[in-house]
Structure 1
Amino acid sequence: MLAAVLSLGGIGLVAATALGIAAKKFAVEVDPRELEILDVLPGANCGACGYPGCSGFAKGVAEGKAAPNLCTPGGIETLEGIARILGIEAAAVEPKVAVVACQGDNAKARVKYKYLGLTDCNAAQKIADGPKNCPAGCLGLGSCEMACPFGAIEMTSENLAVINRDKCTGCEKCVAVCPRQVIKMTPRKSTTHVLCNSTDKGAKIRSYCDIGCIGCHICKKTVPEAYAVETFLAKVDYEHDEEAALAIEKCPTKCIRDFSSGYPEGSSFAPPRNDAA
Structure 2
Amino acid sequence: MSIALIAIIAAGVLGAVLGVIIGMVAKAFAVEVDERIEGVEERLPGANCGGCGFAGCADFAKAVVGERAKPGECPVAAPEDISNIAEYLGIVAEEKEKRVAVVRCSGDCANTVRSLYNGVCDCRSAVLVAGGAKGCDYGCLGFGSCADACPFGAIEIRDGLAVVHPELCVGCENCVAACPKDLILMVPAAVDVHVYCNSPEKGAVKRQVCRTACIGCRKCVKASGEEDHMLVDGFLIKTNYENPPQPDLVEASACPTSALRLGTKHAVGAYGGASK
Q: Which residue is 1:197 aligned to?
A: 198
Q: Which residue is 1:227 aligned to?
A: 230
Q: Deviation at 1:82?
A: 2.3
Q: Deviation at 1:123?
A: 0.9
After superposing the two structures, state which structure 1 stretch, 11-20 or 160-169, moved more: 11-20
Distance across 1 between alignment mates of 2:79 and 2:116: 46
Report matched runs for 1:1-277 at 5 Å. 1-111=4-114, 113-156=115-158, 158-224=159-225, 225=227, 226-248=229-251, 250-261=254-265, 263=267, 265=269
Q: Deviation at 1:150?
A: 1.5
After superposing the two structures, state which structure 1 stretch, 184-193 or 16-25, moved more: 16-25
After superposing the two structures, state which structure 1 stretch, 241-250 or 33-42, moved more: 241-250
* 1:217-251 deviations in Å (ceiling 9; x for gaps): 01111123332221111112234334243334601
Distance across 2 between alignment mates of 1:211 and 1:94: 31
- Is contact 1:223-1:247 (8 Å) kept? no
Give the total of aligned pairs: 265
Q: Deviation at 1:188?
A: 0.5
Higher-Rg structure is 2
Distance across 2 between alignment mates of 1:248 and 1:102: 19
Matched residue type, 2:209: Y
- Is contact 1:125-1:131 (8 Å) kept? no
Structure 2: give runs of 5+ residues left out of the alignment: 272-276
TM-score where L is the length of structure 2: 0.88
Q: Which residue is 1:272 aligned to?
A: none
- Is contact 2:214-2:237 (8 Å) kept? yes
- Is contact 1:99-1:163 (8 Å) kept? yes
Q: Deviation at 1:197?
A: 1.1
Matched residue type, 1:24: K
- Is contact 1:41-1:78 (8 Å) kept? yes
* 1:158-215 deviations in Å (ceiling 9; x for gaps): 2211112122110111001101111111100111211111111110111000111111
TM-score where L is the length of structure 1: 0.88
Distance across 2 between alignment mates of 1:126 and 1:97: 28
Report the aligned-residue RMSD: 2.1
Change (3 A) 1:186 1:119: same
Q: Which residue is 1:275 aligned to?
A: none
- Is contact 2:224-2:245 (8 Å) kept? no
SS in 2 for 1:3: helix
Distance across 2 between alignment mates of 1:171 and 1:57: 14
Q: Deviation at 1:26?
A: 1.6
* 1:3-39 deviations in Å (ceiling 9; x for gaps): 3433333333233323322221221111222221111
Distance across 2 between alignment mates of 1:102 and 1:171: 20
- Is contact 1:97-1:186 (8 Å) kept? yes
Q: Deviation at 1:96?
A: 0.3
Matched residue type, 1:263: A
Name whichever structure is richer in helix by fraction: 2
